[in-house]
Amino acid sequence: MKNIKMKLNIKAMRSVIMKRISKDIWAVFKLLYQNKGRFSINALLLQLIMIFISSTYLILLFNMMLKVAGQSQLTINDWMEIVSHPASVILLIIFILSVAFLIYVEFSLLVYMVYAGFDRHIITFKSIFKNAFVNVRKLIGVPVFFFVIYLMLMIPIANLGLSSVLTKNIYIPKFLTEELMKTTKGIIIYGTFMIAVFILNFKLIFTLPLTILNRQSLFKNMRLSWQITKRNKFRLVIEIVILELIIGAILTLIISGATYLAICVDEEGDKFLVSSILFVVLKSSLFFYYLFTKLSLISVLVLHLKQENVLDQPGLEFKYPKPKRKSRFFIISMVLAVTCFVGYNMYLLYNNTINTNISIIGHRGFEDKGVENSIPSLKAAAKANVEYVELDTIMTKDKQFVVSHDNNLKRLTGVNKNISESNFKDIVGLKMRQNRHEAKLVSLDEFIETAKQSNVKLLVELKPHGKEPADYTQRVIDILKKHGVEHQYRVMSLDYDVMTKLKKEAPYLKCGYIIPLQFGHFKETTLDFFVIEDFSYSPRLVNQAHLENKEVYTWTINGEEDLTKYLQTNVDGIITDDPALADQIKEEKKDETYFDRSIRILFE
């Protein structure tokens, strides 16, 4: 009897929860539908304002910081120059605080809009900015430090959908995650970090709305968010998932319908006008999908906070909506905006072609076909039609060169020895194992001779460890001359001083500088090319390099989506772990129809 009562109670609780979930989802969709026009226009204006501010004020502030520090760029190696100048440190702090404040204002508009919408009110822009400025004072002092950390923690997973216009293109650089994922220890570290960040983001998901809508301190709002998610975690997760699925289903129907109509009108897919219309419709649909996904999430959060009765009176100035005729200025502005949007996307569709002049470079050979930096990997990359094979070389204790990425040999050979502390004869020939492949550790001489036989050029990365002799660069020149490849091969390194010395001693060599993280302009240099990772790429950087007659390579670009993206840029070379896929995409996409191109660009 007791068990029966318990089962009935559980069933009744489930019924109550499902009714509440249904009621909440209906309330959110009702809100979004009734305010779709106003929400869309306000959000669009907000995005344009944020883009304008970030491309003017923030860039100006950033460049001032570099100028004060006597720098033209900001890389990992330049941070000490920035922090050693008091004025540049002050500007850096102002820059970080400005970004934090703008993100706060951005979310204030969205949260206030939703908050007022639930009560069928309209909030004035004057009231939004007034309250944003008043509330931001809560962050002055120690809290701002934690607020910045909180915003940084939002980046890896965009706080479950709460991404900002200013941070949506910021992510953990792929070269870091890809290297971590190559070892079991790295997978555990990365996986644990992401799980911890996910849990922390979920627990603090109410922090921003609470900070915007009540008078409590940031710390109290964090604690309150933690308590609310503990009580309502299952209902909150279910509501978010259902809303995402519904909005995603609507987007799928729109995309499917528009695509079907386009195919009916243009079966071959080569009519520019038809594909342009399709592209504009689908691009607009994606914009509204991302917008209403964010608004639905904010709506759920605000609704939960209203139900929890934890909001203070924020002192907002509301007004009731009154039907009024649209002004001529508004109509003209909207027509111009739509015209510019359509024109830009038609231009994008027409010009977004594959760059067939880009060199494909095998990263450490072709790892899927052999151990990295091995002879089998080199030969496999050559068969994949690469123009260059990238390799790493380290000098031994007795001043010989071997081909290896790591100074310590344990990862691939199981032998816990450093190349820099070992003699050549003791390590060359050691068996390496990776991804079910086996190969021997080889000398740079053997690698070069095999490359010549395979008719492929090499992109040699020097990896100095700090114990090299004074004639280190001369020895590099000598080994290239010995094999007669000094005019065909390219040499690069993370060590800028080594590369400038090498270029000075051998001006005929093509020398490059590897930059793990790059902000600002490239520095003035005598070197011939730059190698930047995916995170730092921008068309502006490449254009600057080309104006100075220098080349730009990007690394490490993998996967069909990223390879396709970079094959339509103006970079000079792509360093990839999968050269066969890069070559395949390069061949397949060069003759694609306008229809295929519109779908490709849309989902990049």
Position 279 pLDDT exceeds 60: yes
> Three-state SS for 591?
coil
Position 323 pLDDT exceeds 60: no
Position 157 pLDDT exceeds 70: no
- Comparing CA positions, the residue from 120, 147, 149 lying closest to residue 135 is 147
| pTM (predicted TM-score) | 0.76
- Please give the pLDDT value at position 538: 86
Position 547 pLDDT exceeds 80: yes
Residue found by looking up tokens 């007022």 in the block: 116
> Taking a C-beta distance cutoff of 8 angstroms, is the pair 108, 135 a contact?
yes
Average pLDDT over residues 44-57: 81
CA distance 429 to 398: 16
Classify residue 412 by burial, with Cβ atoms within 10 Å: 0-12, 13-18, 19+: buried
Average pLDDT over residues 103-131: 79
Please name the residues in contact with 83: beta carbons below 8 A apart, sequence gap of 6 or more: 89, 92
- Please give the pLDDT value at position 474: 95
The phi and psi torsions of 461 (rounded to 5 degrees) equal -100, 120
- Please give the pLDDT value at position 302: 92
CA distance 158 to 250: 23
Strand pairing of 457-462 and 388-395?
parallel
Position 6 pLDDT exceeds 60: no
Tokens of 50: 């944020």
Summarised one tens digit per residue, pLDDT across range 75-110 is 666 666 677 777 777 887 888 888 888 888 888 888
CA distance 190 to 260: 42
236 vs 159, residue with greater confidence: 236
Confidence of residue 21 (pLDDT cuts 50, 70, 90): confident
Please name the residues in contact with 107: beta carbons below 8 A apart, sequence gap of 6 or more: 162, 164, 208, 209, 212, 298
Share of the chain above pLDDT 90, in %: 36
| Angle between helix 272-308 and helix 36-53 axes, rounded to 10 deg | 100
Confidence of residue 514 (pLDDT cuts 50, 70, 90): very high
Position 161 pLDDT exceeds 80: no
Confidence of residue 191 (pLDDT cuts 50, 70, 90): confident
Summarised one tens digit per residue, pLDDT across range 431-461 is 999 988 999 999 999 999 999 999 999 999 9
Confidence of residue 124 (pLDDT cuts 50, 70, 90): low
Average pLDDT over residues 263-289: 89
Strand pairing of 318-319 and 122-123?
antiparallel
One-letter amino acid at 310 equals V
DSSP character at residue 255: H
Helices (H), 204-327: 207-213, 218-265, 272-308
Position 552 pLDDT exceeds 80: yes
Q: Which CATH class is domain 359-602?
A: alpha beta
CA distance 490 to 391: 11
Q: How far is CA 263 from the centre of its chain?
A: 33
State which of 246-255, 326-335, 454-463 shows the largest mean pLDDT. Answer: 454-463
Share of the chain above pLDDT 70, in %: 88
Mean pLDDT computed over every residue of the chain: 85
Q: Dihedral (C-alpha) 292, 293, 295, 296: value to the nearest 10 degrees?
A: 110
Q: Dihedral (C-alpha) 357, 363, 369, 372: value to the nearest 10 degrees?
A: 160
Classify residue 544 by burial, with Cβ atoms within 10 Å: 0-12, 13-18, 19+: middle
Domain positions in the chain are: 2-351, 359-602
Position 543 pLDDT exceeds 80: yes
- Please give the pLDDT value at position 500: 95
The residue count of the chain comes to 604
Helix (H) or strand (E) holding 150: helix 142-154
164 vs 556, residue with greater confidence: 556
User: How many of the other CB atoms lie within 10 Å of CB of 434?
Assistant: 17
